[in-house]
Amino acid sequence: QCLLSGSWQSDTGCRMLMSILGKDGSFSGSYLPGFAAGDSEILTSPLEGSQQDAGLVPQPIFSFTVRWRLQARTTVFLGQCYVGTNGEETLHTLWLLREAAESPAEDWKATR
């Protein structure tokens, strides 16, 4: 069974620390982007999310949002937790990053 709570690191060096899941599947934690490892200007940012009931599916779907500190941007992650044949848990995610746009004319470049 896949459990999101704990510490995770991505292939690019991003680090996440997720709290224990609530009864409703909610969790919170913190996120530090990989490029920030040597940059004291970038702070760890809070994250909040939810996981599908692991009792329904052993490899649950989850989502979470990172609210970047000191920056006008938010990132949303959507993915699934998989358990390999060796018992190792891995997260596969897609993400969208939204930055504040100066005007509706600039909206086209605000989401990556």
Per domain, the residue ranges of the chain are 6-106
Q: Tell me what the pLDDT averaged over the chain comes to.
A: 87
Q: How far apart are CA 45 and CA 1, in angstroms?
A: 28
Give the model's pLDDT for residue 58: 80
pLDDT tens-digit readout, 47-87: 999 998 877 888 889 999 999 887 889 999 999 999 889 98
For the 6-106 domain, the top CATH level (class) is: mainly beta
For the chain, the maximum distance between any two Cα atoms, rounded to a whole number of angstroms, is 50
pLDDT-derived band of residue 40, with 50, 70 and 90 as boundaries? low
**CA-closest candidate to residue 77, choices 92, 56, 59:** 92
